[in-house]
DNA sequence: GAACAGGAGAGTC
DNA sequence: GACTCTCCTGTTC
């Protein structure tokens, strides 16, 4: 990708993500610094749902709760490899035994880290994919128009509860953004320039990774999210009902704001009306969108037979006439 | 007070 | 013309 600011990203013994992918963001690579875990400035406060592999609590959860195998492997290393010689061979000297045991532990740790790395990178890519689909923008910031940049800024503002920063980056294309250094970002927004720079860097890293690792190679990891992006690009206008279905199909990310009550019947509930309206506003570049307007648009579907109220009408509950 | 229902006009593609 | 946004009034929960 050859973006500025990438030159400093050297590969070090303490940056395993670099080993997996030499262009990965250094702000992501801090993950393995287990002894001094603290998020970089740019990632403080990232919501778990959005970047589950990056935020420290998520990393803990990933490793300890969702993947007990990691814990198990760390606490009880796999048995040592069988001896290569006959049993009568005298046991190794204490120092040798220690060496071989620490070597095995090292290998186990290495394996654990490798698997965690793969998961983290996979999560980052998946979340970038999801955002691309929702915003209808390309995964690579270099391809963004001024409108795409504004969408991404609004999205980032919303997701990470930043104050309004999009106005400070007007009239800039994705290429312009990518040519800016962190100092330039700070010039536009003294307080949050570095945060935005960090997020943009994650996107650039993800795009670089996709370039190096084409879809065929990643099929086993997350083929559905990848094909999502490929099917939705280039940009196509989206209908509200399609957008709602997209959210419903990503329960991992959006079940807190919208979820199925009965998927077979197409009945869903909007749990957080303001959030859904905000997402729709970002998607359509309508900052003034609210639930009142969104629900009016939903009601337009009544006549068209796309959405209706379920037989037992409940607040914030709707039904697709033709379930997914 | 929030959600719901629907009319009406305007904007965008 | 289709689709959505926006504003509005009135009703229901």
**pLDDT surpasses 60 at A226:** no
Q: Specify the nucleotide whose C1' lies closest to residue A306 (CA).
A: C3
Task: State, as a whole number of angstroms, the distance between the CA of A315 and the C1' of B1.
Answer: 14
Same domain, A198 and A250: no
CA atoms within 13 A on the CB side of A15: 15
A85 located within any domain: no
Residue A303 approaches strand C within 7 Å at CB: no
The residues facing A267 across adjacent strands are: A262, A319
Which position has the token pair 């999009």? A166
Same domain, A245 and A295: yes
Same domain, A200 and A290: no
Position A123 scores a pLDDT of 67
Same domain, A207 and A244: no
Same domain, A200 and A110: yes
Same domain, A187 and A263: no
Same domain, A206 and A243: no
A95 located within any domain: no
Cβ < 7 Å from strand C, A residues 211-230: none
A294 located within any domain: yes
A9 located within any domain: no
Same domain, A308 and A270: yes
A228 located within any domain: no
Q: A24-33, A153-162, A172-181: which range is least confident on average?
A: A24-33
Position A158 scores a pLDDT of 74
Positions on chain C within 7 A of a protein C-beta: 3-8, 13
- The pLDDT-based confidence of A114 (bands split at 50, 70, 90) is low
A123 located within any domain: yes
What is d(CA A270, CA A283) in angstroms, rounded to the nearest whole number? Answer: 17
Nearest to A135 by CA among A281, A241, A255: A281
Same domain, A251 and A186: no
SS (H, E, C) chain A: CCCCCCCCCCCCCCCHHHHHCCCCCHHHHHHHCHHHCCCCHHHCCCCCCCCCCCCHHHHHHHHHHHCHHHHHHHHCCCCCCCCCCCCCCCCCCHHHHHHHHHHHHHHHHHHHHHHHHHHHHHHHHHHHHHHHHHHCCCCCHHHCCHHHHHHHHHHHHHHCCCCCCHHHHCCCCHHHHHHCCHHHHHHHCCCCHHHHHHHHHHHHHHHHHHHHCCHHHHHHHHHHHHHHHHHHCCCCCCCHHHHHHHHHCCHHHHCCCEEEEECCCCEEEECCHHHHHHHHHHHHCCCCCCHHHHHHHHHHHHHHCCEECCCCCCCCEEEECCCC
The residue ranking higher by pLDDT, A39 or A183, is A183
Same domain, A110 and A207: yes
Helix axes A94-135, A273-284, angle to 10 degrees: 70
Cβ < 7 Å from strand C, A residues 225-264: 239-241
Residue A300 approaches strand C within 7 Å at CB: yes
Residue A299 approaches strand C within 7 Å at CB: no
pLDDT tens-digit readout, A121-145:
666 777 777 777 777 788 888 888 8
**pLDDT surpasses 90 at A167:** no
A171 located within any domain: yes
- What is the phi/psi pair of residue A274, to 5°? -65, -40
**pLDDT surpasses 90 at A146:** no
Positions on chain B within 7 A of a protein C-beta: 2-8, 13
pLDDT tens-digit readout, A33-81:
333 333 333 333 333 333 333 333 233 322 332 333 333 333 333 333 3
**pLDDT surpasses 50 at A228:** no
Position A269 scores a pLDDT of 92
Residue A19 approaches strand C within 7 Å at CB: no
Task: State, as a whole number of angstroms, the distance between the CA of A140 and the C1' of B2.
Answer: 40
Residue A137 approaches strand C within 7 Å at CB: no
Q: State percent of chain A over pLDDT 70.
A: 53
The residue ranking higher by pLDDT, A261 or A182, is A261
Whole-model pTM: value is: 0.51
Task: State, as a whole number of angstroms, the distance between the CA of A299 and the C1' of B7.
Answer: 12
Residue pair A310/A318 in contact (Cβ under 8 Å)? The answer is yes
Task: State, as a whole number of angstroms, the distance between the CA of A319 and the C1' of B8.
Answer: 26
Distances (CA, A) of A278 to A158, A216, A269: 8, 35, 16
Same domain, A189 and A263: no
The stretch A311-315 carries a mean pLDDT of 89
Q: Specify the nucleotide whose C1' lies closest to residue A240 (CA).
A: C4
Same domain, A249 and A301: yes
**Which protein residues have a C-beta closer than 7 A to any atom of strand B?**
A 237, 273, 291-292, 295-296, 299, 302, 309, 313-317
The residue ranking higher by pLDDT, A234 or A135, is A135
Task: State, as a whole number of angstroms, the distance between the CA of A297 and the C1' of C5.
Answer: 8
What's the whole-number average pLDDT of chain A?
64
We report the CATH number of the domain holding residue A293 as 1.10.10.10
Residue A292 approaches strand C within 7 Å at CB: yes
Residue A275 approaches strand C within 7 Å at CB: no
The dihedral built from the CA positions of residue A85, A87, A92 and A94, taken in this order, carries a sign that is positive
A219 located within any domain: no
Position A236 scores a pLDDT of 58
We report the CATH number of the domain holding residue A166 as 1.10.150.50
Full residue range of the structural domain in which residue A186 is found: 106-211
Query: Encoding tokens for residue A287?
Result: 């900052």
Nearest to A124 by CA among A30, A55, A37, A181: A55
- The pLDDT-based confidence of A110 (bands split at 50, 70, 90) is low
Domain count, chain A: 2
């Amino acid at each position: 990708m050859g973006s500025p600011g990438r030159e400093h990203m050297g590969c070090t013994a303490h940056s395993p993500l670099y080993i997996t992918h030499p262009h990965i963001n250094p702000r992501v690579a801090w993950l393995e610094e287990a002894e001094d875990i603290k998020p970089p400035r740019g990632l403080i406060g990232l919501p778990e749902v959005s970047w589950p592999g990056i935020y420290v609590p998520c990393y803990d959860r990933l490793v300890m709760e969702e993947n007990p195998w990691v814990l198990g492997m760390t606490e009880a290393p796999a048995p040592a490899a069988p001896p290569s010689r006959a049993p009568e061979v005298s046991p190794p000297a204490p120092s040798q035994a220690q060496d071989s045991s620490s070597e095995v532990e090292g290998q186990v740790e290495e394996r654990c880290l490798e698997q965690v790395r793969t998961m983290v990178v996979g999560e980052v890519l998946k979340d970038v994919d999801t955002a691309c689909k929702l915003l209808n923008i390309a995964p690579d910031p270099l391809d963004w128009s001024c409108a795409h940049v504004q969408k991404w800024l609004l999205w980032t503002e919303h997701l990470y509860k930043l104050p309004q920063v999009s106005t400070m980056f007007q009239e800039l294309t994705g290429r312009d953004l990518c040519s800016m250094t962190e100092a330039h970002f700070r010039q536009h927004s003294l307080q949050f320039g570095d945060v935005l720079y960090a997020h943009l860097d994650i996107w650039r890293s993800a795009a670089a990774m996709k370039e190096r690792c084409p879809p065929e190679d990643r099929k086993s990891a997350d083929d559905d999210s990848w094909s999502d992006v490929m099917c939705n690009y280039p940009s196509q206008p989206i209908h509200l009902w399609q957008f709602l279905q997209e959210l419903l199909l990503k329960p991992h990310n959006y079940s807190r704001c919208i979820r199925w009550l009965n998927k077979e019947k197409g009945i869903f509930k909007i749990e957080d009306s303001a959030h859904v309206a905000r997402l729709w506003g970002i998607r359509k570049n309508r900052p003034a969108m609210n639930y009142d307007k969104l629900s009016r648009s939903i009601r337009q579907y009544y006549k068209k037979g796309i959405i209706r109220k379920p037989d037992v009408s409940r607040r914030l509950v709707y039904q697709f006439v033709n379930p997914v």
